[in-house]
Amino acid sequence: MHTTDRPIVVGIDLSGTSNLALDWAATEAGRRGKPLVVVHTYSAVGYPAVRAGVPGAPLPPDLDRVFRETAVEACSEAAEKVRDTHPGLAVSTVTSTGSPGEALVDASKEAALVVVGARGLGAVRGMVLGSVSTHVAAHAHCPVVVVHEAPTHSLADARVVVGVDGTEVSASAIRFAFEEADSRGVGLTVAHTWQLDSVEGAAASMAWSIDVDEINEEERSVVAEAIAGFAEQYPSVDVRRVVTQGHPVHELARLSENAALLVVGTRGRGAVASWLAGSVSQSLVRAAHCPVAVVHPDPESVHPAHVTGGEAEGFHLPLPPVRERL
């Protein structure tokens, strides 16, 4: 499938908390001129009546029919809602059995974007949708947007914010952020933070000599290099640069309070995807006050030397004291 033909995919559940994700996805599809695919996956795992039976056994025919009909009805209602609020938007639905996370990861292979809710209870009692969003964000083959249940702000002219760390893997996130800001007609804030590594012994005695102003200037150069070329490609986007000393999660969460969208990158999928656990990306999915776009790097843009065990080389160097970046 050509990139221009790829749809926006949104995952829904039966709790009603996915309505914001549905609305966000429909608006995005309309802005991009792309079709919308509504996906719902159902399973009986977790239901008391099923747990009492044989684990792994096929669903009783009647129960399977009920689940399937409920799923189809949920998707139909969601599609009708989108058609009412976004006339002319092409909408289709997909229902299946199994793992919601795996279904959305599979759908991401042919999607331009996957949209999920940050949390909620689905057809599987007790299964938090947050686990689905985490799985999809870590393993999807396209950008993933996680929409919170209740955004703190709803500002028509809110900016897009992107976090950059100065490595090659930021390029895809930066490009995505510029595209979003350009299509929305809003400004872009490029945020970069740095911290000193914890130091001991002789290194600690050298810490007093660190020139914070000099470091800030160096880090501003990192940002300038990271966005070089993008500003020329998107001349209508007002770009602001924010360089601060602090924890990336805290700083980016603060900036998200008045943002339309927060964009962050990851280190890749597969064996490296475990980096997402406990990472800046996952933490911001929970802590941000606006939708969060998690963007994987283009495989050809990441040199093997830049990724080792899921972290960028150079983040933890020997003496003298160094700084961590995002």
Q: What is the 3-state secondary structure (H, E, C) of the chain?
A: CCHHHCCEEEECCCCCCCHHHHHHHHHHHHHHCCCEEEEEEECCCCCHHHHCCCCCCCCCHHHHHHHHHHHHHHHHHHHHHHHHHCCCCCEEEEEEECCHHHHHHHHHCCCCEEEEECCCECCCCCCEHHHHHHHHHHHCCCCEEEECCCCCCCCCCCEEEEECCCCHHHHHHHHHHHHHHHHHCCCEEEEEEEEECCCCHHHHHHHHHCCHHHHHHHHHHHHHHHHCCHHHHCCCCCEEEEEEECCHHHHHHHHHHHEEEEEEECCCCHHHHHHHCCCHHHHHHHHCCCCEEEECCCHHHCCHHHCECCECCCCCCCCCCCEEEC
Query: Of 51-55, 166-170, 172-176, 221-225, where does the model show the most confidence?
Result: 172-176
CB 190 within 8 A of CB 241: yes
Instruction: Say what percent of the chain tops pLDDT 90.
Output: 40
Q: How confident is the model at residue 247 (pLDDT cuts 50, 70, 90)?
A: confident
Do 3-147 and 159-325 share a fold?
Answer: yes
Lowest mean pLDDT among 27-36, 102-111, 203-212, 260-269: 203-212
pLDDT at 130: 56
CA distance 144 to 134: 10
* pLDDT, tens digit (0-9, with 9 covering 90-100), for 265-301: 876 544 333 333 337 777 888 888 899 999 988 765 4
Q: Looking at per-residue confidence, does 75 or 214 come out higher?
A: 75
pLDDT at 142: 95
* Res. 40: pLDDT tops 50: yes
pLDDT at 211: 72
Q: Which amino acid type is present at position 65?
A: R
Tokens 């396209």 identify what position?
142
Closest CA to 296 of 288, 287, 307, 286: 307
Q: How confident is the model at residue 90 (pLDDT cuts 50, 70, 90)?
A: very high
* pLDDT, tens digit (0-9, with 9 covering 90-100), for 107-116: 999 999 999 9
Q: How confident is the model at residue 157 (pLDDT cuts 50, 70, 90)?
A: confident
Phi, psi of 250 (to 5 degrees): -65, -45
* Res. 59: pLDDT tops 70: no
Domain borders along the chain are 3-147, 159-325
pLDDT at 303: 40
CA distance 82 to 94: 15
pLDDT at 68: 84
* Res. 123: pLDDT tops 70: no
Q: How confident is the model at residue 44 (pLDDT cuts 50, 70, 90)?
A: low
CA distance 161 to 288: 11
The alpha carbon of 294 is separated from its chain's Cα centroid by a whole number of angstroms, namely 3
CATH number of 159-325: 3.40.50.620
pLDDT at 17: 67
Q: Which amino acid type is present at position 117?
A: G
* Res. 313: pLDDT tops 60: no
Query: What's domain 3-147's architecture?
Result: 3-Layer(aba) Sandwich (3.40)
Q: What is the mean pLDDT of residues 252-261?
A: 92
* Res. 169: pLDDT tops 90: no
Question: What radius of gyration do the chain's Cα atoms show?
Answer: 21
